[in-house]
Amino acid sequence: MSQSSDCVIIREVGLRDGLQSIARILPTEQKKEWIRGAWDAGQREIEVGSFVPARLLPQLADTAELVAFAKTLPGLVVSVLVPNLKGAEHAMESGADLMLLPLSASHAHSLANLRKTPDEVLAEIARIRAARDAAGSNCLLEVGISTAFGCTIQGRVEPSEVLRLLQAALDAGVDRVGLADTVGYADPRAVKHLFERALVIAGDRLDCGHFHDTRGLGMANVMAAFDLGITRFDASLAGIGGCPHAPGASGNVASEDLAYLFASMGVDTGIDIDRLLTLRSRVAAWLQGEPLHGTLWRAGLPKTMQRARAVRS
Amino acid sequence: MSQSSDCVIIREVGLRDGLQSIARILPTEQKKEWIRGAWDAGQREIEVGSFVPARLLPQLADTAELVAFAKTLPGLVVSVLVPNLKGAEHAMESGADLMLLPLSASHAHSLANLRKTPDEVLAEIARIRAARDAAGSNCLLEVGISTAFGCTIQGRVEPSEVLRLLQAALDAGVDRVGLADTVGYADPRAVKHLFERALVIAGDRLDCGHFHDTRGLGMANVMAAFDLGITRFDASLAGIGGCPHAPGASGNVASEDLAYLFASMGVDTGIDIDRLLTLRSRVAAWLQGEPLHGTLWRAGLPKTMQRARAVRS
């Protein structure tokens, strides 16, 4: 674990990756409460929504309003997902700090999710970069290589294709890249091997690990990437999440469990876990009946960690 | 992961660690079905019960009969837990291959669990070793250092005390030692640090990692030990388990999730995961209403792994 850091960013993606997988539409006021609660708990990067057409994802139709609200919270990095140039234009207009564009390494998933081949998406990424330059926007452009470890539609995804797309995205002028196990097929060895090769290509620009806990390996996969020096991870409160075009792809790693993982190891995330658990119970009440995940909330913090906090305060 | 192996043993402890934490008494015939099903699925080491007084744990009163049954299954290593010399005598009489004696590193847990201090337990271990020598038995003697990463009663447990007890157990003549996170307080860094130091003392005789998933870190903790070369892990079907004297200590790592972790990485456990999942659903039906855990059973195997198996068969 020689390369691992003592400071990690957990980007909250529950409001986007989580809520897009749930049919019910959470009222905008509750989403704002969630964003404020996450900020109160110390989270400093939140993906608040997605600039996709409202007819496709009505759950996320209020993204512009959420960006405006989130921008009032000091120090908060506001991320949004964008599927194309149109979405990117909305993101830049909204004042978001970062736009995340998914690029599926699985051809089949790319067609199902964006109706474009990966290379067509790459061409769109180049147009987005050009549009940002023309607009003089400083909105960061991040590409997440999704289905990087396999795909529920296509099955196997070749690491060489993932790396080709990663290089091509960098060539198209993106600021950051990440690797996403969209459907929960990764294992720690696969994570180690792919991230090692991706780091050779992208260096510091490889800045995000996105893991689902679909088959119980989420935390172990996070650790495999962390051990290579990755210090920014997506996670979702109560582990909600999935992908509408990847059947059975439920469950991001739970933010509260991830915060606990790092806190246990003495790695700073800036997160107050008690506050995050309180927020979790509020969000869980709003989402009653939906499948929630995560483990820490049942047992609570260890006695040793409670005592450490009591001494500090 | 340079020291990690390509072959791992998963010892099933659901029939002991799991069932002792559940008030209902599973009929002996169902336990035999479980043992046979685990063997059919490729498990070759099973802790079938515990030689403790039946008035204390009536759930495990049929241990001698289960040992006799398990010994009819070719190639199966039959483990039993023993709390003291009396239990060890029963274990040797029963024909078990291995007796596991828990030695709590937490003074408070030791008193609650065995009504003895750790040093009194060490004296008992020496008596057990002497009794085995006198009987000419070849029943292996393993000591599991429990609460090695903290205790729900005492709180912090000093690593130096864990290592002192480990050395003392070896000095008392045990064949193998293991480290157990009885209450789910460990994290990957703590696992790495303690196992590294324990390996210096015990070498190859440090042969077991026992992790609970109480706070979501079970798999990551297993990986931390595996990366150091540990190749034998306890696990419980459906993640049942706990400790009657450690409140809130529920949930061993789930055998089926652990088998999947290693299979994903190409590490051989000898386990047929489909068969293990079938067994899980039978056991889950017997234990209806009890808290079960694990993640893989919801999603099933990835498409890529299904295809790989179809090609092989």
Tokens of A122: 């790459």
- Tracing tokens 């909204």 back to the chain, one arrives at A94
Q: What SS3 state is found at B266?
A: coil
C-alpha span between B167 and A40 (Å, rounded): 47
Which residues does chain A have within 8 Å of residue B189's beta carbon, measured at their own beta carbons? Answer: 1, 264-266
Residue of A nearest to B221 (CA): A220
Query: Nearest CA of chain B to the CA of A41: how many Å?
Result: 19
Angle formed at CA A223 by CA A267 and CA A277, multiple of 5 degrees? 60
Whether A185 contacts B265, CB under 8 Å: no
Query: Is B217 strand, coil or helix?
Result: coil
Cα distance between residue B99 and residue B88, in whole Å: 7
Task: Write down the residue that tokens 């582990």 correspond to.
Answer: A239
Q: What is the DSSP letter of B2?
A: T
Q: Give the pair of three-digit tokens for residue A77.
A: 């990095």
For A256, how many CA atoms within 13 A lie in the half-sphere containing its CB? 28
Query: For every one of its 313 residues, what pLDDT tens digit does chain B have, with 9 covering 90 and above?
Result: 446 779 999 999 999 999 998 989 999 999 999 999 999 999 999 999 999 999 999 999 999 999 999 999 999 999 999 999 999 999 999 999 999 999 999 999 999 988 999 999 999 999 999 999 999 999 999 999 999 999 999 999 999 999 999 999 999 999 999 999 999 999 999 999 999 999 999 999 999 999 999 999 999 999 999 999 999 999 999 999 876 665 555 689 999 999 999 999 999 999 999 999 999 999 999 999 888 999 999 889 998 887 555 444 4
Identified catalytic residue from A139, A151, A208, A243: A243
A262: nearest CA partner in chain B: B187
pLDDT at residue B83 in the model: 96
Q: Decide if A260 and B216 are in contact by the 8 Å CB cutoff.
A: yes
Residue B295 to residue A152, Cβ atoms within 8 A: no
Return the HEC string of chain A: CCCCCCECEEEECHHHHHHHHCCCCCCHHHHHHHHHHHHHCCCCEEEEEECCCCCCCHHHCCHHHHHHHHCCCCCCEEEEECCCHHHHHHHHHHCCCEEEEEEECCHHHHHHHHCCCHHHHHHHHHHHHHHHHHHCCCCEEEEEEECECEECCCECCCHHHHHHHHHHHHHCCCCEEEEEECCCCCCHHHHHHHHHHHHHHHHHHEEEEEEECCCCCHHHHHHHHHCCCCCEEEEEHHHCCCCCCCCCCCCECEHHHHHHHHHHCCCECCCCHHHHHHHHHHHHHHCCCCCCCCCHHHHCCCHHHHHHHHHHC
Q: Does A310 score more than 80 pLDDT?
A: no
Pairing relationship of beta strands B9-12 and B232-235 according to DSSP bridges: parallel
Distance between CA atoms of residues B188 and A199, nearest Å: 23
Alpha helices in chain B (DSSP H): 28-40, 63-70, 85-94, 107-114, 118-135, 159-171, 188-202, 218-226, 255-264, 273-286, 296-299, 303-312
How many Cβ pairs closer than 8 A exist between chain A and B? 125
A260, closest residue in chain B (CA to CA): B215
Q: For residue B245, what pLDDT is reported?
A: 61
In angstroms, the CA A78 to CA B50 distance is 55
Q: What is the pLDDT of residue A5?
A: 79
Read off the amino acid at residue B223.
Answer: M
Res A250: pLDDT: 65
Q: Do A303 and B150 touch (CB under 8 A)?
A: yes
CA–CA distance, A222 with A12 (Å, rounded to integer): 15
Q: Within an 8 Å CB–CB cutoff, is residue A155 touching chain B?
A: yes
User: How many residues in total does chain A contain?
Assistant: 313
**Inter-CA distances, A109 with A34, A90, A215, A293, B26, Å:** 30, 24, 20, 25, 46
> Which of A219, A303, A307 lies nearest to residue B152, judging by beta carbons?
A303
Domain residue spans in chain B? Answer: 9-312
Does residue A277 carry a pLDDT above 70?
A: yes
| Closest CA relative to residue B84, chosen from B51, B40, B132 | B51
- Confirm whether A243 is a catalytic residue: yes
Please tell me if residue B1 touches chain A, with a CB cutoff of 8 Å: yes
Q: Is B27 on the interface with A (CB under 8 A)?
A: no
CB contact at 8 A, A42 and A7: no
Residue A24 sits at the chain B interface (C-beta within 8 Å): no
Domain B9-312 has CATH 3.90.180.10: no
ipTM surpasses cut 0.95 = no
Measured between CB atoms, which of A184, A294, A304 is closest to B216?
Answer: A294
Tokens matching residue A102: 């998914």
pTM given for the model: 0.95
Q: How confident is the model at residue A10 (pLDDT cuts 50, 70, 90)?
A: very high
* Angle value at C-alpha B60, between B56 and B63, nearest 5 degrees: 125
B242, B278 contact by CB (below 8 A): no
* pLDDT at residue number B274: 97
Determine the length of chain B.
313
| Alpha carbons B309 and B313: distance in angstroms, whole number | 6
Looking at the partner chain, which of A155, A260, A299 has a beta carbon nearest the beta carbon of B304? A155
Report the residue of A214, A219, A233 to disrupt the B interface, i.e. the one with the largest count of B CBs within 10 Å: A219
Query: Which residues, listed in sequence order, are joined to residue B142 by a DSSP beta bridge?
Result: B100, B176
d(CA B251, CA B235): 9
The C-alpha atoms of residue B116 and residue B297 are separated, in whole angstroms, by 40
